[in-house]
Amino acid sequence: MGWNTYHQIVTELSPKMWVYDNLITHVFTHKYYENGAKIKFTNDDAYDFLNLLKS
């Protein structure tokens, strides 16, 4: 998911609980953020990242 979607979830829609706790979530952003156990931040190109996941 993109940073804006992630930010809206954690600040407005569900600030007290991560709704995708049963999944590893990849957040695409241009900034550096520290990864959590199930939330991974990346500045990779989404197309390249998807191809990497497929391989």
DSSP conformational letter for 44: S
Tokens of 37: 């156990």
Q: pLDDT tens digits for 20-30?
A: 999 999 999 99
Contact 38, 21 (CB under 8 A): yes
Model's pTM, two decimal places?
A: 0.85
Question: Looking up tokens 């191809």, which residue turns up?
Answer: 51
Mean pLDDT of the chain: 95
Spell out the per-residue pLDDT of the chain, length 55, in tens: 999 999 999 999 999 999 999 999 999 999 999 999 999 999 999 999 999 989 8
